[in-house]
Amino acid sequence: MTSEEAREIIFGFPGVEEGASYGHPSFKVNGKFFTRLRAEDASLVLLDIDLDEREMLMEAEPATFHITPHYKNYPSVLARIETVHPGSLRSFLERRWRKIAPKAAVKAFDAARPAQMS
């Protein structure tokens, strides 16, 4: 995936605002951190990934998921843009978005989606 494709996924969620963090693109929703680009390793920071899930991701897909010492004690993982699957990125971001977006935005988002088949 390219950085432009990742940005399309990021901006696919209502209320995303772009700013800067450490001199690189950063994204917020409802004034809260959503994700940011790490230019030093072309990765996105994904939050709300518990430590067990993170370990499983890094073991299953080490070319995509990794951490640096800074993230060791945080419920997060870094995902290399070039190798992360677009559907996986969307799922991780949706999990975070649902946690930080206003309840009315989540309700509107869900109402606009096609009904899921049972």
> Is residue 86 one of the residues assigned to a domain?
yes
> Is residue 109 one of the residues assigned to a domain?
no
pTM (whole model) above 0.85: yes
> Is residue 107 one of the residues assigned to a domain?
no
d(CA 97, CA 94): 5
> Is residue 113 one of the residues assigned to a domain?
no
Are β-strands 32-38 and 43-47 bridged in parallel, bridged antiparallel, or unpaired?
antiparallel
> Is residue 111 one of the residues assigned to a domain?
no
> Is residue 87 one of the residues assigned to a domain?
yes
Question: What is the 3-state secondary structure of 6-65?
Answer: HHHHHCCCCCEEEEEECCEEEEEECCEEEEEEECCCCEEEEECCCHHHHHHHHHHCCCCE
pLDDT for 116 beyond 70: no
Q: What is the pLDDT of residues 75-84, one digit of tens each?
A: 999 999 999 9
Decide: 79 and 89 in contact? Cβ < 8 Å: yes
Q: What is the pLDDT of residues 19-61, one digit of tens each?
A: 988 788 899 999 999 999 998 899 999 999 999 999 999 999 9
Q: Is the dihedral of CA 52, 53, 54, 56 positive or negative?
A: positive
- CATH number for 63: 3.90.1150.30
Domain housing 17: 3-101
> How many domains does the structure of the chain reveal?
1
> Is residue 52 one of the residues assigned to a domain?
yes
> Is residue 59 one of the residues assigned to a domain?
yes
